[in-house]
Amino acid sequence: MKTDITLSKKATINTGNYSSITPSVSLTLKDVDVTQIERAYHDLNTISAVFFLSEYRIMAELQEDSKKLGILKFFETLNEEREEMKTDFEDAVKNLAENL
């Protein structure tokens, strides 16, 4: 028998001065043999922890950048980097499609 496992991690972290960030990760592993469910859960939990910490780091860096630059300059910088972000996104989607 097979089943799907979904594991989610989410936290609201107070970063001081009435600010917070809320990293969130949700992963699903499909068609897991029930005899392997404990091992699959352990592995999925390890992967989700790495993703969660990465998401936390990214969000904290964005928040810090917005504080340093000021929100208007921060958004201006994001707009200037839009094409680079679009290329990064397209490359990531292409890489996933080729390797999955």
Averaged pLDDT, groups of 10, the chain, 100 residues long: 95 88 94 94 94 94 89 87 88 85
Is the same domain home to 41 and 1? Answer: yes
Determine the 3-state secondary structure of 29 from DSSP. strand
d(CA 10, CA 83): 30
Dihedral over alpha carbons 46, 51, 56, 59 (to 10 degrees) = 180
How many structural domains is the chain composed of? 2
Is the same domain home to 13 and 44? Answer: yes
Is the same domain home to 74 and 63? Answer: no
What is the predicted pLDDT for the residue at 22?
94
d(CA 59, CA 62): 5
Is the same domain home to 76 and 51? Answer: no
What is the predicted pLDDT for the residue at 66?
87
- Residue 80's domain comprises 70-100
Is the same domain home to 47 and 13? Answer: yes
Is the same domain home to 22 and 42? Answer: yes
What is the predicted pLDDT for the residue at 9?
96
Nearest residue to 30 via CA among 21, 22, 40: 40
How many CB atoms neighbour CB 23 within 10 A? Answer: 19
